[in-house]
Amino acid sequence: MSTAEETGEDAPWGEVTPEAARRLLVAAVEAFAERGYHATTTRDIAGRAGMSPAALYIHYKTKEELLHRISRIGHDRALALLEAEAGGEAPAAERLAGAVRSFVRWHAERYTTARVVQYELDALSDEHRTEIIELRRQSDAVVRRIISEGVAAGEFDVPDVPGTTLAVLSLCIDVARWFNAQGSRTPEEVGALYADLVLRMVAAQK
Amino acid sequence: MSTAEETGEDAPWGEVTPEAARRLLVAAVEAFAERGYHATTTRDIAGRAGMSPAALYIHYKTKEELLHRISRIGHDRALALLEAEAGGEAPAAERLAGAVRSFVRWHAERYTTARVVQYELDALSDEHRTEIIELRRQSDAVVRRIISEGVAAGEFDVPDVPGTTLAVLSLCIDVARWFNAQGSRTPEEVGALYADLVLRMVAAQK
DNA sequence: CCCGATCCTGAGCAAGCGCTTAGGGTCTGG
DNA sequence: CCAGACCCTAAGCGCTTGCTCAGGATCGGG
């Protein structure tokens, strides 16, 4: 019914195709975000999706495969957001602010997903973890590139580019930990605040 | 043997008094930090402490009590570090930089402990969690006070004091997630970098 | 030499875990 | 009305979990 209108950017799990598999995945995201991967049982996931425990194994080989799918899709999305703002001819300050705003907004709006994506890495198998870490390396590279270009253009004054990149990403990612929907700030507001703070961190000193 | 020289500030668990109980607690910190609370078994903790699984229950009523003790001591320590730098007659900029440097250094040096303290809150019982959250509220208040005083004194320009306080603490706390001992940065260096970045975040604009 | 206190272990219980399997509904095409 | 594909469930297997308990090792005081 709502599949058609949800295929855009606002449908986070539109790419998960059998509808039953998507229901299970959404249920898993909620459960993992609330209790953590290890504290979540396959019975709980199946129950939230309105199915019996056995139904899960028709669509996914293991519980870890569910986590991997969530993590993979989430990282792809986060990286795409960064890359969308990184290119172009705009000044580095504008591109950095855009990247931070958009990245932070995603971590706030989809904070259940982001929590799983950012904080359950250790629960992945070795193989899957290395795959995901490579995506994070790419995110790091995108941000570092913007900052480097800002320094080269004389827009920024950053003594330690890798360290500042790390801090910027760390700041944004941690939004997923403390943000909650009942709080007083909207994702939009947090994005704007953080973009301002990050620009101050790299600004040319007076 | 080394108990005497470790009773100072550098002995994080000096206050845990029966020696066997301390061994178990240190083992639990390691295990929780590596695998997470829920993925750690009581057999693993006891094994690391060189004891049988049953020995744990002579010193602690439950596995959750171990987590609570770790969390409580860690939060007390972190709060004490902040408070030690917050007072005095020095300019707000100096006090803020000192607090960040010291807080970050602790999160890096004791990153195993800090990881448990900061990221396993959800595993606590309702009662214990409320107790710990109150300590975090106090940490927030300490930092907010320094920033407010800096604004009042005209040292800082901060449009959103609660939001900036949140961001500063979030930035520092997240060090525990990404820091690792084999990395290229020392806790000292990360503390210095972060103190600089935070001062930029609050600095009066040119 | 024995006594009681202290601290720990071996063995194991009930419950819950991830996952499997045999089989039964339901729907489409004829 | 039937056939066969598809999707799901009831039941449960083998294992691990947090935790318990009866009893043994060790040691200072009489």
Residue A192, chain B, CB below 8 Å: the answer is no
Nearest to A44 by CA among A29, A28, A58, A61: A28
**What residue in A sits closest to B198 (Cα-Cα)?**
A201
Which nucleotide lies at the shortest CA–C1' distance from B49?
A: C8
Q: What is the mean pLDDT of residues A103-127?
A: 96
Q: How far, in Å, CA of A155 to CA of A191, rounded?
A: 21
Residue B80, chain A, CB below 8 Å: the answer is no
pLDDT digits (tens, 9 = 90+) for A133-149: 999 999 999 999 999 99
Helices (H), B49-125: 56-59, 63-86, 92-109, 111-119
> Which domains does chain B possess?
63-202 (1.10.357.10)
Q: What is the largest CA-CA distance in chain B?
A: 64
pLDDT digits (tens, 9 = 90+) for A78-112: 999 999 999 989 999 999 999 999 999 999 999 99
- CA A43 to C1' D12, in angstroms, rounded, equals 15
Q: How far, in Å, CA of B3 to CA of B6, rounded?
A: 5
Q: Cβ atoms within 10 A of the Cβ of B128, count? A: 18
Asked if A44 and A63 touch (Cβ cutoff 8 Å), the reply is: no
- Burial (Cβ within 10 Å: 0-12, 13-18, ≥19) of residue B95: buried
Q: A59: Cβ under 7 Å from strand D?
A: yes
Name the pLDDT band for A41 (thresholds 50, 70, 90): very high
Q: How far, in Å, CA of B37 to CA of B60, rounded?
A: 16
Q: Is the pLDDT confidence value at B3 over 70? A: no
Residue A38, chain B, CB below 8 Å: the answer is yes
Q: What is the mean pLDDT of residues B124-130?
A: 96
User: Within 13 A of A94's CA, how many CA atoms are on the CB side?
Assistant: 5
- Which residues in range 39-68 of chain B are in contact with strand D, contact meaning CB within 7 A of any of its atoms? 40-43, 53-54, 57, 61-64
Residues 6+ apart with CB under 8 A from A39: B38, B123
> First and final CA of chain A: distance in angstroms?
57
Name the pLDDT band for B14 (thresholds 50, 70, 90): confident
Considering CB atoms only, which of B163, B193, B196 is closest to A193? B163
Work out the minimum CA distance from A38 to partner chain B, whole angstroms: 6
Q: Which is higher by pLDDT, B172 or A7? A: B172
- CA A19 to C1' C21, in angstroms, rounded, equals 24
- Report the percentage of chain A scoring pLDDT > 70: 94
Q: Cβ atoms within 10 A of the Cβ of B200, count? A: 19
Binary contact (A171, B171; C-beta < 8 A): yes
Q: B165: Cβ under 7 Å from strand D?
A: no
Asked if B70 and B28 touch (Cβ cutoff 8 Å), the reply is: yes
Q: B125: Cβ under 7 Å from strand D?
A: no
Work out the minimum CA distance from B39 to partner chain A, whole angstroms: 6
CB contacts < 8 A, A to B, total 70
Instruction: Give SS3 for B1.
Output: coil
- CA B86 to C1' C27, in angstroms, rounded, equals 71
Residue A137, chain B, CB below 8 Å: the answer is no
Q: What is the largest CA-CA distance in chain A?
A: 64
Binary contact (A203, B201; C-beta < 8 A): no
Work out the minimum CA distance from B170 to partner chain A, whole angstroms: 6
pLDDT of residue A79: 97
Q: B124: Cβ under 7 Å from strand D?
A: no
* CA-angle at A17, arms to A13 and A20, nearest 5°: 90
Q: How far, in Å, CA of A104 to CA of A117, rounded?
A: 14
Nearest to A118 by CA among A101, A98, A103: A103
- Sort out which chain A residues have CB atoms less than 8 A from B205's CB and list them: 200
Residues 6+ apart with CB under 8 A from B76: B135
Kindly state the tokens that stand for A85. Answer: 């703002």
Q: How far, in Å, CA of B165 to CA of B144, rounded?
A: 6
Q: State chain A's mean pLDDT as an integer.
A: 92
- Count H helices and E strands in chain A, helices first: 10, 0
**What residue in B sits closest to A195 (Cα-Cα)?**
B201
Q: Is the pLDDT confidence value at A10 over 60? A: no
Query: What angle, 0 to 180 degrees and rounded to 10, lies between the N-to-C axes of helices A63-86 and A111-119?
Result: 110
pLDDT of residue B17: 75
User: Tell me, what DSSP letter sits at residue B158?
Assistant: -
Residue A79, chain B, CB below 8 Å: the answer is no
Q: What is the mean pLDDT of residues B32-38?
A: 95
Nearest to B165 by CA among B190, B138, B191: B138
φ, ψ of residue A156 to 5 degrees: the values are -110, 160
Return the exposure string of A136-172: e unless at least 16 CB atoms fall within 10 Å of the residue's CB, then b.
beebbebbbbbbbbbbeeebbebeebebbbbbbbbbb
